[in-house]
Amino acid sequence: MAIGNFPARLRRRDFLGVSASAIAATQFPSSTDSWAQGASTLRAGITGYNVINTLDPGKATLIPEFYVIWALYNGLMKLDANSNPVPDLAESVKADGNALEFKLRRGVKFHDGSEMTADDIKFTLERLLDDKFASPNKSKVSGLSAIEIPDPNTVRIVTKEAFAPLLTFLSNCRTGTQILSRKATTAGGDDFGKKPIGTGAYALKDWVPGERVSLAAFPGYFGGAPRIGTIDMPLIAEESSGVTALLGGQIDITSTAPFADIANLEKNAAITVLKQAGLNCRFVSLNHRKAPFDDPTFRRACSMAFDRNAMVRAVLFGEGVTSHGLIPPSIAYAYGGNTRPLCTFDPAKAKAELAKSKYPNGAEAEIMTWGQSWWKRMAEVFVAQCNQTLGTKFTVQVTEANTVFQRHKSGDYQGSVWGWLGLLDADEYMYDIVHTKGWRNFYGYSNPKVDDLLDRARRELDLAKRGALYKEAESTMIEDMPVLPLFVSNVHNLMTKKVQGFNQLPYSNWGDQFVNMSLG
Amino acid sequence: MAWTRFVAGRLLALVLTVLVGSVVVFLVMKSAPGDPAVAALGESARPELVAVFRAKHNLDVAWPLQYGRWLSGVVQGDFGLSLTVASDRKISSLIAARLPNTIFIGLMALSIAVVLSLIAGTIAALRRGKLGDTIATSLAALGISMPDFWLSYVLILVFALGLGLFPAYGFIAPGQSMSGALYSGFLPALAVSAPLAAVFARTLRTALLEAGNKDYVVAARSFGFRPAYIFVHWVFRNALIPYITIIGLQIRYILGGVVVIERIFGVSGIGSLMVDGAFARDYPVVQACAVVFLVIVLSVNLVVDVICSLLDPKRAR
C-alpha cells in the first residue's frame, strides 16, 4: 500500500478503504482475490487499449492517457452534456474584447496539499506554449498572446483576436490544458508524467505499465471527498476480453465495447449498455489535385451513389448515425442535421450528375484503406456501391494506417477512407478540415465563402450566432463536396447494475465521472 | 573432456544464434511499415516533434549504427528504454516484472500436459482398439487441430461465464499469491497445454505399444510375471525415452501459445509485451523480447540435448 508523497490524511482514508473492502470480502467468500476488493473499489476496465506512456497532460496524446488524466486534474472549464464549456476550476468567465477573464474558484487544493493560484494557470499555459517543452497539445493554446494575473484569483487570457473555441480548449477533455501546480510540476521534472499531481478528485496510487493504473480518492478535493475510495483500472487490450471480464465479474464498467456485440449485450439483463453518437467524423477523403476527384460534379455524383444507411448497418452493425456534413450531432448548437439531398442515396440523380461531369465513363480510382477491421469494410462498401450505381472502376487498396496518413500529407493518393476522433469544437471539425489554411485539409480544398464564414465563426462568442455560421458554412461546403461524409459512430460503456452515477458524454469521457459515482 | 567440449560448443552456437536472430528481428521490424514516432505522438503529431522524438531515441541514424548501439547496451545488460508501450521506462525492468508470469503459465501448462498425456496415452495403449483408445485418440486429434485462441474462448464461456468456476479475465502474479496464481492461471495454462498434451499422449501410446511387442516382454509374459509388473518394469520404462524426447522438442511451442493466450486472459507476461511492442513499433521492446525468447528456447534445447545424451550416450559422440 505504498502511496508515495501524499499527506497523512490520504493514507488514513486509504486504510479505511482497505478495511471496508476486507469486511466486504468476508461477506462474499468466493471473491477473496485481489481483483474483487468489495464495494469501496470501482474496477473500471480500460478496454481496447493498454498503452499509457505519460500522465502529464502537456505530453499526453493517447485516449487511455486522457481517461486517467480526467480523474487526476481539472481544467478551467469542463464540457456539459451538450458539449458546451461550463466553469470548473474557474468560478465564472467573461469576455472582454480579445481577452477572457476567469475568476478562479477559491480553496482548490493540489494533491500535495498546496493551494491553487492564478500563477499556476499562467505556468500551465506558458509551459504548453514553450517551444522547448514541445507539447503535442500546443495547438490548443496557439492563439494566445498574453496571460495576465491582475490578482491571485483572476486570470486574463489575451488572444491575438477573439477566439471562440478557446473555452472548449481550456476544458478537461482531450486538450492537455489541465491545470498543473508550478511547484509540484517543476519539482517533478522529467518524472512528472510518472508521478502526476493535479487538483482532481483522485490521485495516482499505483501504475504498472501495460497492466493497470490505480487511483485513490483525494480527500482534499474541492468538491468534497468522492464516495468510492479506490479506482482500479486494468488495461485490457482486447475489447472482447473486456466484455468477458465484465460478464465474469472481474470488472464493473468498461470504457468501450465491440460494435458487433452491442445488440446481444442489450438483451442481457445483468448489464447496462450506455450509448450515443460520439464526437467523431468519418468520410471518404478525395484528392482535389488528381483525377477524377478534381471535379466537384463527379464528387457530388459519388456522394449520391451509395447508401449511408446501409453502410451504418454493414460497417457499424447499426451503431452510429449517417453524416451529411462534418459536425457531429453532439455539438448541438452547430449540427446541420442529416437530411441533405446531396448526401442521400439517389441512383437516378447520381447518374444525372455523373453525365454532367468530366468523367462520365468508367472513371478509375484507388481508394486507400488499412487493416482488417471496419476501416476496410467502409472502403469496400463505398467502392462496391459506387461501381454498381455509376459504372466507375474504383478499387480498394489495403495498406497500413500510418502509410495512409503519410500519403495524405504528401498528396500522393486519389481517395481514402479517413476520419477524426477526439476533436471537440465545431471549429476543429470545420476550420481544420475544410478551411484553406486548415492543417487537416489534405485535399487542397479552398472556397473563399466557406473560409470567410469560418473566420467569422472563430470570432463569434455568442453560441447561437456561432452555430448559425457553422451551419451556413457546412451547407456551402457540401455543394462542393470536398469530402464524402459517411457517419458518426456511437460511443459505448458497459456497466454492471450496481454501478451508479456514470454520466456518459459524447467525447467518450471516463475518469471525470468517477467523482459522481457510487456502487449500489 | 568430450563433455566440456560438447557443452562449450553448444553454448557458442547459442550465442551466435541469438546474435543472428536479433539481427533478423531488427531488420524485420525496421522494414515493417509504420513509425514509432507516430505511434507515440499520435496521428496529428507536428513534424518538429517527430524529429525531436527520432533524435532522442536514436532513430535518425543508419540502421547498422542503431543496431550497434543497441547491441553494445545489451552486452552490458542494458536493453534500453521503451519507446511507445511504456515510454522512457527501462525495458529490463518491464521484462523482469513480466517474465516470471510467462514462465509460471508455461510450467503450469507443461505440468498439465504431462499429467493429461500420461493418463490418456496409457489408457489408449492398454485398451488398444477398444472404447478407451478411441476416446483418447479422438481427444488427441481434437487437441492438435483446435486453434488455441478458439479453445480459450470456449474455456472462458464454459468454465468462467457458464459455470463460474474460474475468473474470465485477469491473472494474479505468483509473487503476490501462489494460490491465486494457480487458480487464475488454470484456464490459460489449460488452453496452452491442449495441443501439447495431445502430441505427448500420441507419442506415449505409440511408444508403449512398441515396447509392449518387444521379445523381452513376450519372454517376461511366458515366465508368468503379473501384467502390471511387466508394464511398469519393461514397457513403461522403455517408452519413457521417446516420451521425454518429444517433451523436450515441444517445449518451444509453449512460448508460441503463450503469446496469444496472454492477451485473451489478461496475463501480464512477456508474450503480450512483445505483441504490444510490435503493434506500437516499439523496436527495442520487440528486440529484447525476441532475445529473451531465443535464449529460453535455445537453453531448453541445450538442456534436452544434455539429458538425452545422458540417457543415450551414443548421441553425445
Model confidence pLDDT, tens digit, residues A173-207: 999 999 999 999 999 998 999 999 999 999 999 99
Which residue from A79, A100, A97, A90 is spatially nearest to A168, judged by alpha carbons?
A: A79
Give the closest of B86, B88, B266 to A234, CB-based. Answer: B266
Decide if A61 and B42 are in contact by the 8 Å CB cutoff. yes
Mark out the alpha helices in A189-321 (DSSP H runs).
239-247, 262-266, 296-303, 308-316
Q: Is A236 on the interface with B (CB under 8 A)?
A: yes
Q: What are A296's three cell numbers?
A: 466537384
DSSP letter assigned to residue A64:
H
Model confidence pLDDT, tens digit, residues A48-97: 988 899 999 999 988 999 999 999 999 999 998 888 899 999 999 998 88
Q: Is A422 left (phi over 0), alpha (psi -120 to 50) or beta?
A: left
Least confident of A165-174, A310-319, A405-414: A405-414
Give the closest of B44, B183, B266 to A236, CB-based. Answer: B266
In whole numbers, what is the pLDDT of chain A averaged over residues?
89
Decide if B280 and A234 are in contact by the 8 Å CB cutoff. no
Window 35-74 of B: residues touching A by CB (8 A cutoff) are 35, 38-46, 48-49, 52
CA A327 from centre of chain: 14
Distances (CA, A) of B232 to A93, B235, B311: 87, 6, 18
Give the closest of A208, A237, A399 to B263, CB-based. Answer: A237
When pLDDT is cut at 50, 70 and 90, the band that residue A402 belongs to is confident
Instruction: Kindly report the nearest CA distance between residue A499 and chain B, in angstroms.
Output: 19
Q: Is B33 on the interface with A (CB under 8 A)?
A: yes
Which residue from A404, A378, A477, A406 is spatially nearest to A435, judged by alpha carbons?
A: A477
Instruction: Kindly report the nearest CA distance between residue A36 and chain B, in angstroms.
Output: 10
Instruction: Kindly report the nearest CA distance between residue A194 and chain B, in angstroms.
Output: 10
What backbone torsions phi and psi does residue A357 show, to the nearest 5 degrees?
A: -85, 175
Cell 515396447 sits on residue: B211
Decide if B35 and A136 are in contact by the 8 Å CB cutoff. no
Distance CA B106, CA B189 (A): 7
Decide if B170 and A245 are in contact by the 8 Å CB cutoff. yes
* E strands in A144-226: 144-151, 154-159, 202-208, 212-217
Asked whether the beta carbons of B38 and B45 are under 8 A apart, the reply is: yes
Decide if A33 and B40 are in contact by the 8 Å CB cutoff. no
Which residue from A343, A337, A348 is spatially nearest to A300, judged by alpha carbons?
A: A343
Task: Spell out which residues of chain A touch residue B272, defining contact as CB-CB under 8 Å.
Answer: 210, 237
More confident residue, B46 or A1: B46
Give the closest of A33, A210, A244 to B184, CB-based. Answer: A33
Of all residues in chain A, the one with the smallest CA distance to B35 is: A402
Q: What are A503's three cell numbers?
A: 454520466
For A100, what's the count of Cα atoms within 13 Å in the CB-facing half-sphere? Answer: 27
Of all residues in chain B, the one with the smallest CA distance to A237 is: B263
Amino acid A401: pLDDT = 79
Model confidence pLDDT, tens digit, residues B121-174: 999 988 888 888 888 888 888 888 888 888 999 999 999 999 989 999 989 999
Give the closest of B86, B161, B180 to A209, CB-based. Answer: B86
Amino acid B42: pLDDT = 65
Residues 6 or more apart whose Cβ sits within 8 Å of residue B178: none
Instruction: Kindly report the nearest CA distance between residue B302 and chain A, in angstroms.
Output: 33
Edge-to-edge strand order for the sheet containing A154-159? A90-96, A99-104, A154-159, A144-151
Q: Is A53 on the interface with B (CB under 8 A)?
A: yes
Q: What are B77's three cell numbers?
A: 545488460
| Mean pLDDT, residues A148-162 taken together | 93
Instruction: Kindly report the nearest CA distance between residue A225 and chain B, in angstroms.
Output: 30
CA B195 from centre of chain: 12
Give the closest of A51, A208, A250 to B168, CB-based. Answer: A250
Amino acid B217: pLDDT = 87
According to DSSP, the β-strands at A415-421 and A280-286 are: antiparallel
Q: Is the pLDDT of residue B314 over 70?
A: no
Decide if B169 and A245 are in contact by the 8 Å CB cutoff. yes
Please tell me whether residue A180 adopts helix, strand or coil conformation.
coil
Asked whether the beta carbons of B6 and B309 are under 8 A apart, the reply is: yes
| Mean pLDDT, residues A487-499 taken together | 96
When pLDDT is cut at 50, 70 and 90, the band that residue A26 belongs to is very low
Instruction: Kindly report the nearest CA distance between residue A158 and chain B, in angstroms.
Output: 25
Task: Spell out which residues of chain B touch residue A61, defining contact as CB-CB under 8 Å.
Answer: 40-42, 44-45
Element (H, E) at A232: strand A230-236
Window 212-241 of B: residues touching A by CB (8 A cutoff) are none
Helix axes of B91-126 and B131-145: crossing angle, nearest 10 degrees: 160
Give the global pTM: 0.85
When pLDDT is cut at 50, 70 and 90, the band that residue A12 belongs to is very low
